[in-house]
Chain A
Amino acid sequence: GESVGLHLPTLSVQEGDNSIINCAYSNSASDYFIWYKQESGKGPQFIIDIRSNMDKRQGQRVTVLLNKTVKHLSLQIAATQPGDSAVYFCAENPGGYQKVTFGTGTKLQVIP
Chain B
Amino acid sequence: EAEVAQSPRYKITEKSQAVAFWCDPISGHATLYWYRQILGQGPELLVQFQDESVVDDSQLPKDRFSAERLKGVDSTLKIQPAELGDSAMYLCASSLSGNEQFFGPGTRLTVL
Indicate if the CB atoms of A49 and B103 lie closer than 8 Å: no
Docked-complex contact B99 and A32, CB < 8 angstroms: yes
**Tally of contacts, chain A with chain B, CB under 8 A:** 51
Cα distance A34–B99 in the bound complex, in angstroms: 9
Q: How far is the CA of A21 from the CA of B99 in the complex (A)?
A: 22
> What per-residue 1/0 map shows which CB atoms of B22-65 lie under 8 Å from chain A?
00000000010100000011111100101000011000000000
Tell me whether A102 and B42 are in contact in the complex, defined as CB-CB below 8 angstroms, given that A96-B98, A97-B50, A97-B98 are known contacts: yes
Query: A100 touches which one: B41, B45, B104 (CB < 8 A)?
Result: B45
B44 touches A102 (CB 8 A): yes
The verdict on B72 contacting chain A, using a C-beta distance below 8 Å, is no
User: Please, how many angstroms separate the alpha-carbon atoms of A43 and B100 in the complex?
Assistant: 14
Judged by a CB distance under 8 angstroms, whether A45 is at the interface is: yes
Per-residue CB proximity of A1-44 to B under 8 Å, as 1/0?
Answer: 00000000000000000000000000000001010100001111
Tell me whether B100 and A34 are in contact (CB under 8 A). yes
Interface string of A94-112 (1 = CB under 8 A from B): 0011011011110000000
Q: B41's closest neighbor in chain A, by CB?
A: A104
- When the two chains form their complex, are residues B102 and A46 in contact, meaning their CB atoms are under 8 A apart? yes
| Residues in A lying within 8 Å of B, measured CB to CB | 32, 34, 36, 41-46, 49, 89, 91, 93, 96-97, 99-100, 102-105
